[in-house]
Amino acid sequence: MTIKAAAGYDVTYMHMKLSEVAVTVGEPVTAHQKIALVGSEGPSTGCHLDLRINTAGSIDPAVSALPDGIAQGGPAVSAGFVNPESFYRLFGVELCAADLCRRSTL
């Protein structure tokens, strides 16, 4: 599921439980609104959330200034994608305390 922000960036939530999606295509969403439940749909090895932020097209200077995957040494397919934790910190949101989450890199 991808949500396009008015500021031009995309937030994609992957592996959501398809039977528990709470919004429809084109429906506006608001902060803190439940959009779906985490699941293990598609090519997945277990219940988890794959959160991807694509800043290509962003008109928000702070978002556009975040280093993308290439700037962090990732492959060409990581162009435009930024670290979700860095992205959400711009908005005062801490996704998960360091001792509570398992993190993967690009």
d(CA 87, CA 63): 7
- Reduced 3-state DSSP string for the chain: CEEECCCCCEEEEECECHHHCCCCCCCCCCCCCCCCCEECCCCCCCCECEEEEECCCCCCHHHHCCCECCCCCCCHHHCCEECHHHHHHCCCCCCCCCCCCCCCCC
| pTM of structure | 0.82
Quick one: tokens of 2? 């991808």
d(CA 48, CA 64): 27
Domain ranges of the chain: 2-89
Exposure string (b/e) for 9-19, b if CB count within 10 Å is 16 or more?
A: bbbebbbbeee
- The reported pLDDT for the residue numbered 98 is 73
- What tens-digit pLDDT sequence spans the chain (106 residues)? 899 999 999 999 888 888 889 999 999 998 889 999 888 888 888 888 888 999 999 999 999 999 999 999 999 999 999 999 899 999 998 888 777 777 665 5
